[in-house]
Amino acid sequence: MSKEIGEALPHHNSMDITRPGDPTEKSFHAKMKKHFAQEVSTDHADILMLICCLITGFLDSTLYNAFKTFVSMQTGNTIFVALGASDQNNRPFGWARSLISIGFFCIGSFTFSRCHRFCGPLQRSTLIASFLIQSCCILLSASLVQGLVIEGNVPADLGTHWDQVGPIALLSFQAAGQIVSSRFLGVGEVPTIVITSLLCDLLSDPLLFASVTKNPKRNRRAIAFVLTMVGAIVGGWVSKVTKSVSPMLWVAGGCKIALTLVWGLWKEKV
């Protein structure tokens, strides 16, 4: 009798409990897919680009202290390469570091711009991927220096440390992602890595002395300059106190990770 009752009762197994075809699960996946495929709003996107100006200050002041080259501002690197042509670099093969920085910045500009156009310049997933790659470049550089794989002492000695080319290449590549993002987001007045043209545009603005509410582009340019300066001062002091580039690299990488997360939550374009 008990055997007959047991056969009559329904049998349950793990397949009955967790069904891959569950409508709730499908609905969640559909929502996430739609969320990441959305175009983000460009309203207030300038705030994120202004934070990138601060990051530029962190990186360029810190890296110049240790590696005697810039990773964002390629005007200075161009001059260093030119001085190297007449054998006037203060550091052996300093021109080669600057040339590598210029080269990887160009590669980054080409890569990021093509990927943005191919995937959708304002698509949420595109911006998340862009800033995640930038974050990884900075954090990888920080890990290499922190792990003593690469020399990162401040002040730098006059030796030729070819292993330092790695962080220079990574950081120059990621810097291109910032300016490419600013262009596609329609915030060209905040290029994040260029000060010369920014100052020219700021001071030649016919509405330079207009009220704060009437000239937002002027406001952004002024704030971008100040934040780059503040970032450079902070980077200089921290590298001087710690005698290493790794602390500011971790800070910059953390800031980029935060920006990546913000893009995941940014409001949709209406």
Indicate whether 99 belongs to any domain.
yes
Question: Is 1 among the domain residues?
Answer: no
CATH number of the domain to which 145 belongs: 1.20.1250
Q: Tell me, yes or no, whether 82 lies in a domain.
A: yes
* The residue type at 171: L
In 3D space, the residue among 261, 256, 264 whose CA is nearest the CA of residue 49 turns out to be 256
Domain that holds residue 201: 43-264
In a domain, 67, yes or no: yes
Average pLDDT in the 212-222 region?
95
pLDDT for 15 equals 46
Q: Residues of the chain with pLDDT > 90: what percent?
A: 72
Number of domains composing the chain: 1
Lowest mean pLDDT among 24-28, 56-60, 239-243: 24-28
Using alpha carbons only, give the angle 240, 246, 248 rounded to the nearest 5 degrees.
70
d(CA 83, CA 102) in angstroms, rounded, equals: 15
pLDDT at 255 over 90: yes
Q: How far is CA 130 from the centre of its chain?
A: 8
The pLDDT value given to residue 159: 67
- The answer to whether position 103 is within a domain reads yes
Q: Is the confidence at residue 251, as pLDDT, over 70?
A: yes
Q: What is the mean pLDDT of the chain?
A: 89
Is 38 inside a domain boundary? no
pLDDT tier, 20 (very low <50, low <70, confident <90, very high otherwise)? low
pTM of the model: 0.87
Answer yes or no: is 106 within a domain: yes
Who contacts 199 (Cβ-Cβ below 8 Å, separation ≥6)?
Answer: 221, 225
- Determine the pLDDT at residue 160: 73
Would the pLDDT of 9 be above 90?
A: no
Is 7 contained in some domain?
A: no
Taking the C-alpha atoms of residue 201 and residue 221, their distance in angstroms, rounded to an integer, is: 8
